[in-house]
A and B are shown apart, each in its own frame.
Chain A
Amino acid sequence: MHMERGVEVTDLSIWYGQKLVLKNVSLFANRGEILGVIGPSNSGKSSLLKCINRTLEFIPRARVEGSVRVEGLDVSAYSAHSLRRKVGMVFPLPVGLPLSIYENVAFAPRMAGIHRKVVLDELVERCLRQSALWDEVKDRLGMLGSKLSGGQQQRLTIARALSHEPEVLCLDEFSIAVDPVTTMRIEDVLTDLKKSITIILVTNLVQQARRLADRVAFINDGKLVEFDLTDTIYGEHPREKLTFDYVRGHFG
């Protein structure tokens, strides 16, 4: 079966100044699948995500070689704004904008020129439902987003990342500040979401990738060690011994 490539990374290398943080990485994420990216901290996983929505450009002295394609088109072919609307991002620590819960979710659509209240109301509710937050906040949408608990704020940022109807959703260790119950709920949300979009899940939790991902990329020390179907990576015979050791916790 031919799958549509949501994201395709080819020979990607990233330098911060003289320091090479990612070396010749090639991988892809299909629409309708979740790509799990695992590996120890500081291995270059987050930098990879920053290339996908071109926020790496904000880092002084960062340099990129190779190509990243989103929905078949090189990221440099998009304007930064339209690219970032196509790619939703969720970071380890939630950043609630200093706005109400409602406005946090309505922010991106507003910035894209959607102002009709009916449309926004509907969109806010849908995104908050998708991020499993609606029931907890539906009676206090006017409250400041930053007054929510850590786990709720993280779901709020997921709602915000969904609010611009992205084709690709990247999550960078979203569960660091979230309790296990909420984590499970978000994981259910992701499983549901992957039917319609491409999801890239960067995680330190080896088992989380195993639970959710269809394919897994193992990155260690800036290099792609192995990239294969989840069953192969976690099975008895991954191609690399390093992968075998890492997913079983013998290393790192």
Chain B
Amino acid sequence: MTVGTEPHPSSVTATAVLEVRGLTVEYATGSAPVRACADVSFTLRRGEILGVAGESGSGKSTLITALTRLQRPPAVTTAGQILFHGRDGAPPVDLAALDGRQLRRYRWTALSIVLQSAMDALNPVMRIGAQFADVLRARERGLSKKDAWARAEELLALVGISADRVRDYPHQLSGGMRQRAAIALALACGPELVVMDEPTTAVDVVMQRQILAQVLRLREELGFAVVFVTHDLSLLLELADRIAIMYAGRIVEVGEAADLYRSPRHPYTQGLRDSFPPLHAPLRTLRGIPGTPPDLRRPPAGCPFHPRCAQRIEGCDERLPALLPVRSQPGHEAACLLDESHHEQQKGGNR
């Protein structure tokens, strides 16, 4: 988890819980399909928190719905694999290739999701405890109603919600409590991987801190891995082990949180980092990133960031840079022609 070096391919299977390879998702609307996720590859290690940061339209939500197989037409996964490695050591399963019935075996027990708005994720006309009991009893046929409700109380206690709330309806809980209940629900069947889609965007900073502290503690206790998607890079820098930056449907940089903050390789990452004013450090004028993200119906040629990039060089508008390892920093990858690994590739010396 804190290993800085890129593991040897054979050890990947030992430590990885999820391997995504060349995942491509298209929206089949109008004349030309819109490629919202293009050739996305990453490995999630067991128990790791991978942050995915990106702006609206960067493809981060598309990525999540593809990973969890919750996408609806017109979104279609057109290429790629989502390899899930169970903790039982069984051969990996490609989640992208399973049909709905087969998938059901993995939902909740292997993979679960926490959505941005818990109000929409929880059933408004069912008591909180009943929703937990539903999930628990669907997985464990022999579980009695009474035991399921007792288990619901334990799960709510994990996120600091008192047992008497188990008979409440969602609207009787505060926004922060609902979000915590949604997290507890996602953990109900002991998943190995929890995907979180902006779980703290709708709550205040104090509640946000509280929720993140609980996620970190529960991860320590239960050992699940997290894919945490947000637009708030400053949050990920404090929370995530590694961070992937998405732009126009592609991962443009991925690395350990500290490396990404101290020495970002991609100009977009630099711009994003410099879009968050500091809370205590001396103030200076920040510029953000001029321009707007590209229209994915008409993506620019070459690097999708080049029209906004202040450091662009010759070739940026023609060649699409691949996501390559950064030489000086193990475990750090960037898709930018400025990075030295791309110079070598250009000369044909792809190390």
Chain B binds chain A: no
Question: Chain A residues in contact with chain B, CB under 8 A?
Answer: none
